[in-house]
Amino acid sequence: MQKNKGFTLIELLVTIAVLAVVASIAAPSFSNLLIKENLKTTAFNMRDTLKEARSRALLNRASTVVCTSLSKSASAVTQDGCGANLTNYATTMSASLKKDSVFVVNVEKKINVKSTSSDSFVFSARGNLTAAQTITFCSSAGSYVLTVGIPGTVEITQGGACS
């Protein structure tokens, strides 16, 4: 007599049950990992965009502005809404200069801009700010603080207070 090779139905059900238990244990940490990576991506995108905006201000000899896609009051920010921070945006700027002068950084899901943070940064034609500004991105997985100095230098640190 030849014996059949393979798994029984009970063996397959036990294996699936064990895999389901392992997956349910791993799911919360995976979700937390995704939030943490979105936070890091948002912070580093903001840093890179601030540096680019400063460079464009110097290159074009025109003011530039950087805004977050969500204001600190959690409302959506449009290109024109961000451009309103520039004094001559609506009246004298050409379409190509408007495009090079306004930067809106996307804030990923489940990330908030701290209410005491700046949500727009205006660089003068000389590439500097009128005062040092900070922005704090907060999530359940931590926070990042970006500090922009008057000369336009950008520092990023992890772990600022979110309240």
**Alpha-carbon span 70 to 81, nearest angstrom:** 11
Name the pTM for this structure.
Answer: 0.79
Band the pLDDT of 117: cuts 50, 70, 90.
Answer: confident
The tokens of 65 are what? 């502005």
Cβ-based burial of 35 (10 A; exposed 0-12, middle 13-18, buried ≥19): middle
Q: Report the amino acid identity of residue 160.
A: G
When computed from its CA atoms, the radius of gyration of the chain, rounded to whole angstroms, is 24
Q: Is the pLDDT of residue 2 over 90?
A: no
Q: Is the pLDDT of residue 1 over 70?
A: no
Q: What per-residue confidence (pLDDT) applies to 92?
A: 63
Note the pLDDT tens digit of each residue in 83-97: 888 887 776 666 767
By C-alpha distance, which of 154, 159, 163 is closest to 66? 154
